[in-house]
Amino acid sequence: MTDSTFTFFANCPVGWESMLVDEATDLGMHNIQAGHAGIYFDTNHENLYRYILWARLANKVFLPIKSAKVSDAQSIYDATHDIDWPAFFAPTASLRVDFTGSSGEIRNTQFGAQKVKDAIVDKLTYLGFERPVVDKTQPDIRINVRLVKDEVTWSLDLCGESLHKRGYRTGQGSAPLKENLAAAILVRAGLPKAIKEHDAFTVLDPMCGSGTFLIEAAMMALNIAPSLTRDSFSFDFWTQHNANVWQEVKAQAQAQKEQALASEKAENWCFVGYDENPYIIKSAENNIVAAGLEDMIRLKAQSADALVKPVYATDNGLIITNPPYGERLGEVEDLKHTYFALAETIKQHFENWVFGLFTSNPALASETRMRAAKKNKFRNGPLHAEILLYNIRPAAQAQLRDGESSEAKPEKVLKDLPLSSDAQMVLNRLNKNRKRLKKVIKTEQLQGYRVYDADIPEYACAVDVYNDKLHIQEYAPPKTIDEKKAVHRFEQLKHAVAVCFDADNEVIFTKTRRKNKGAQQYENQTTQTGFDKNRCFTLKEGQAEFFINLDDYLDTGLFLDHRPLRQTIAQQANGKRFLNLFCYTASVTIQAALGGAVSSTSVDMSNTYLDWAEENFRLNNLNPRDHQLERADCLSWLDDCRDEYDLIMLDPPTFSNSKKMDDVLDIQRDHIALITQSMRILSEQGVLYFSTNFRKFKLDSDLAAQFTIENISASTIGDDFKQNPKIHYCWRITHKT
């Protein structure tokens, strides 16, 4: 490193490294080397600022500070303390430490971050500076620490928030793509090549949501710096920051944007978006205005079924879209027609265009009845997804697959059709389970229960009864199972369910459930915005009633496997102060309140589910003054809480990287901190119930030295879930006496 040249590391999702190399080359970086999940490059201040402004694919840019071998927590502290921190950031800046990795000594990232933070604070105070402020939410500077085996690397985060947060998104659709993911998809869809080859071109998104594809495409076509609309970067507090050079680079980027918007290309290129939800269109319009592209992008509230080629569109173009794919939005059965109809419309009206379909559901992609010319794999959060590219040939050249019809077939009444021998086998198991559960259903007056849970491994579904309605959740088949075979088996099971319950098609609801991470199981499944009790029905459980929605969300509003635990808490709640963390729709709180809890607090991040919880409160005539709903990140809320509770329910998701959270939640990594913080506010004689549905979960053995812990998993699993004893784990935790 010389006086004017530094080595930096730009990170990205795994698999994007070659795209990052190409981008860095185009932006004038030097000595570019691909690494794991990122690239290293050398450059000076001016080109660094230019890279940060123009990088469309990178997440962050780091300045590596030091790497060292370590053996334990103390050696991490010592090595951190040895660094001359004032040489890297202003000592007056507020800071945060982001720690990743683990070892035999450092098994918890929060512990590792604490050690590093302590060392930095101690070093600065030792040098005579005031004790720095530690800010977990909006720090001036972030120190990134990565532990791999016995080696630690310290880096200075020069961006702060991820570069995918361009600054233009003021609102979002129901399943927004990260901005840099949208840009990467556009790269794989061939937009950079089209930019070089065409003076006139059209980019169209028939289901545009928040407009991310269109905004990113317009900025790529006109070479507008994507981060120009951002307000701040952490490099403002970097000791080597050159404010004059930064302002000059930023001014150049602004001037280039203004020139691009007035250019001939801006006149000849078209960007068009449709969405059937006017509210979503309005949100996209706000984003486009924030990006300064209101004169470039045209929007209209219109269903994809009404799609035709706009009269002002060019001869060549790209249709790019991220439709619902049955994981986060809509039911798979309902979406089959959507995919088929969209493909038929595109084939009729968009000859010689390219159609880019981004989806995580290959079965739905097959409903287009088209063969992809090219495929590229991506990750959309925790989901495995693909961008499939189709070259739209003239109709005379296009052919359907053998045996396929161009007309949609009417749905058959399943219960009236004859069963195949395989479907009869599933029916026999369903009847056996119903007979086994008959007594408990009658005794406990159950309206909601599970009647089948992948009892036959080849038919990997869960079947739940909600009053007179049936809810079938299909587990994702292993990669070794042929997709068509999996679809066929699902249809056989659905047929068997219809016959078993003599059910009409209208009361059978189906969904595909992947092995999710995070809070995405709570995400909206349709374009329905917010919670609407008119789309629900009610279900009784003991003294309580709950609103149930089988249409709009992957989960239904009530976790049936927690029924025994809800009953236990109801029996113990009389006179208690109850806390429900990660409360979802607050069903446990309802049971606690009806059981006599004198007060309750329910905490969750989702406005939709807190609205749902509030309607559940009203349904059960509970006074909101005694039973509070708090919208907050539970980890941050626990840090700030100074109240005391007698009974606590802690049921976190396995993994969450929600934008509403201050940090990523990983239950295996973070359960120690969650339990410890919850026990801090638990009264001396109180009880904490901790539950998780992460099948590979291991409770940290060190917790037993601090608290009395009892594994009560078996007693919290009802007769209808005995076939799946690992549906969840549960512990009863109290203070040691």
pLDDT tens digit string along 446-492? 999 999 999 998 899 999 999 999 999 988 776 677 777 888 889 89
Residue 80, helix vs strand vs coil: helix
**Domain co-membership, 117 together with 199:** no
pLDDT band at 393 (very low <50, low <70, confident <90, very high): confident
Bigger pLDDT: 83 vs 724? 83
Q: Are 355 and 319 in contact (CB under 8 A)?
A: yes
- What is the rounded CA–CA span in Å between residue 548 and residue 324? 22
**Domain co-membership, 137 together with 12:** yes
C-alpha angle 379-383-388 in degrees, rounded to nearest 5:
60
**Domain co-membership, 482 together with 630:** no
Residue 468, helix vs strand vs coil: coil
The sign of the torsion formed by the CA atoms of 719, 720, 723, 726 equals: negative
Distances (CA, A) of 595 to 341, 457, 546: 51, 39, 15
pLDDT band at 411 (very low <50, low <70, confident <90, very high): low
Q: Are 679 and 717 in contact (CB under 8 A)?
A: no
pLDDT at residue 41 is higher than 50 = yes
Residue 698, helix vs strand vs coil: coil
Last residue of a domain, one of 108, 125, 157: 157
**Domain co-membership, 497 together with 546:** no
Q: Are 390 and 320 in contact (CB under 8 A)?
A: no
Bigger pLDDT: 8 vs 172? 8
Residue 41 covered by a domain: yes
Retrieve residue 624's tokens: 């909101």
Can you say how many angstroms the Cα of residue 260 is from the centroid of all Cα atoms in its chain? 34
Residue 608 covered by a domain: yes
pLDDT at residue 395 is higher than 90 = no
Retrieve residue 696's tokens: 């590979």
What is the four-CA torsion angle of 215, 217, 223, 228, rounded to 10 degrees?
Answer: 30
**Which amino acid would we find at residue 523?**
E
Residue 255 covered by a domain: no
pLDDT band at 666 (very low <50, low <70, confident <90, very high): confident
- What is the rounded CA–CA span in Å between residue 708 and residue 478? 39
**Domain co-membership, 190 together with 80:** no
**At 13, which CATH number?**
3.30.2130.30
Percent of the chain at pLDDT > 70 equals 91
pLDDT at residue 561 is higher than 90 = yes
Greatest Cα pair distance, the chain, in angstroms, is: 84
pLDDT at residue 326 is higher than 90 = no
**Domain co-membership, 209 together with 358:** yes
Range from 231-240, 475-484, 606-615 carrying the lowest mean pLDDT: 475-484
Q: What integer pLDDT is reported at residue 398 of this predicted model?
A: 52
pLDDT band at 624 (very low <50, low <70, confident <90, very high): confident
Per DSSP bridges, beta strands 665-666 and 682-692 are: unpaired
**Domain co-membership, 145 together with 183:** no
Chain segment 668-718, per-residue pLDDT in tens: 999 999 999 999 999 999 999 999 999 999 999 999 999 999 999 999 999
pLDDT at residue 44 is higher than 50 = yes
**Of all helices (H) and strands (E), which one includes residue 17?**
helix 17-26
Residues 393-401: contacts with CB within 8 Å, 24+ apart?
393/351, 393/352, 394/351, 394/352, 395/347, 395/348, 395/351, 398/347, 400/369, 401/369
Q: Are 5 and 46 in contact (CB under 8 A)?
A: no
**Which amino acid would we find at residue 673?**
A
pLDDT band at 110 (very low <50, low <70, confident <90, very high): confident
Burial class (CB in 10 A: 0-12, 13-18, 19+), 332: buried
**At 276, which CATH number?**
3.40.50.150
Bigger pLDDT: 515 vs 148? 148
pLDDT at residue 281 is higher than 60 = yes
DSSP symbol at 304: G
Residue 283 covered by a domain: yes
Residue 27, helix vs strand vs coil: coil
Chain segment 133-163, per-residue pLDDT in tens: 999 889 999 999 999 888 999 999 999 999 9
pLDDT, average across residues 312-316: 92
**Which amino acid would we find at residue 545?**
E
Q: What integer pLDDT is reported at residue 486 of this predicted model?
A: 82
Percent of the chain at pLDDT > 90 equals 71
Residue 523 covered by a domain: no
**Domain co-membership, 214 together with 274:** yes
Q: Are 228 and 281 in contact (CB under 8 A)?
A: no
**At 490, which CATH number?**
3.30.750.80
| 3-state SS track over 572-610 | HCCCCEEEEECCCCCHHHHHHHHCCCCEEEEEECCHHHH
Retrieve residue 730's tokens: 């549960």
Give the neighbor-by-neighbor strand order of the sheet with 269-275: 297-301, 269-275, 201-205, 317-321, 354-359, 383-391, 374-380
- Which residues are CB-contacts of 425 (< 8 A; sequence separation ≥ 6)? 456
Can you say how many angstroms the Cα of residue 326 is from the centroid of all Cα atoms in its chain? 14
Distances (CA, A) of 217 to 153, 320, 429: 36, 10, 52
pLDDT mean across residues, the chain: 89
Residue 218, helix vs strand vs coil: helix
pLDDT, average across residues 502-521: 67
List the beta bridge partners of residue 411: none
Q: Are 563 and 719 in contact (CB under 8 A)?
A: no
Residue 195, helix vs strand vs coil: helix
**The total number of residues written for the chain in this structure:** 737
User: What is the domain range of residue 432?
Assistant: 414-515
Q: What integer pLDDT is reported at residue 526 of this predicted model?
A: 45
| Backbone φ and ψ of 666, nearest 5° | -130, 110
Residue 597 covered by a domain: yes
CA-closest candidate to residue 497, choices 544, 525, 455: 455
Retrieve residue 667's tokens: 């239950």
pLDDT at residue 333 is higher than 60 = yes
- DSSP characters over 152-188: EEEEEESSSS-TT--S--SS--SSPPPHHHHHHHHHH
**Domain co-membership, 385 together with 419:** no
Range from 42-56, 187-201, 465-479, 609-623 carrying the lowest mean pLDDT: 465-479
- Which residues are CB-contacts of 432 (< 8 A; sequence separation ≥ 6)? none
Retrieve residue 259's tokens: 């020139």
pLDDT band at 554 (very low <50, low <70, confident <90, very high): confident
**Domain co-membership, 428 together with 475:** yes
pLDDT at residue 172 is higher than 50 = yes
pLDDT at residue 659 is higher than 80 = no
Range from 183-192, 266-275, 309-318, 332-341 carrying the lowest mean pLDDT: 332-341
Bigger pLDDT: 664 vs 572? 572
**Domain co-membership, 617 together with 724:** yes
**Domain co-membership, 554 together with 493:** no
Q: How many domains does the chain have?
A: 4
pLDDT band at 65 (very low <50, low <70, confident <90, very high): very high
**Of all helices (H) and strands (E), which one includes residue 431?**
helix 421-444
Q: Give Rg (Cα) of the chain.
A: 28
Residue for token digits 């680079």? 249
Q: What integer pLDDT is reported at residue 567 of this predicted model?
A: 97
Bigger pLDDT: 608 vs 220? 220
pLDDT band at 63 (very low <50, low <70, confident <90, very high): very high
Retrieve residue 523's tokens: 């995400």
Q: What integer pLDDT is reported at residue 331 of this predicted model?
A: 54
| 3-state SS track over 220-288 | HHCCCCCCCCCCCCHHHHECCCCHHHHHHHHHHHHHHHHHHHCCHHHHHEEEEEEECCHHHHHHHHHHH
**Which amino acid would we find at residue 674?**
L
pLDDT band at 327 (very low <50, low <70, confident <90, very high): very low
What interhelical angle do 421-444 and 483-500 show, nearest 10? 50
Expressed in angstroms, the distance from the first to the final Cα of the chain is 59
Residue 378 covered by a domain: yes
**Which amino acid would we find at residue 498?**
A
- What is the rounded CA–CA span in Å between residue 289 and residue 270? 16
Q: How many CB atoms lie within 10 A of CB 488?
A: 12
Residue 355 covered by a domain: yes
**Of all helices (H) and strands (E), which one includes residue 49?**
helix 45-54
Chain segment 6-17, per-residue pLDDT in tens: 999 999 998 999
Question: Where do runs of H (alpha helix) occur along 262-361?
Answer: 264-268, 278-290, 332-349
- What is the rounded CA–CA span in Å between residue 253 and residue 318? 27
Q: What integer pLDDT is reported at residue 479 of this predicted model?
A: 66
pLDDT, average across residues 197-226: 96
- What is the rounded CA–CA span in Å between residue 528 and residue 329? 10
pLDDT at residue 174 is higher than 70 = no
- What is the rounded CA–CA span in Å between residue 515 and residue 324? 18
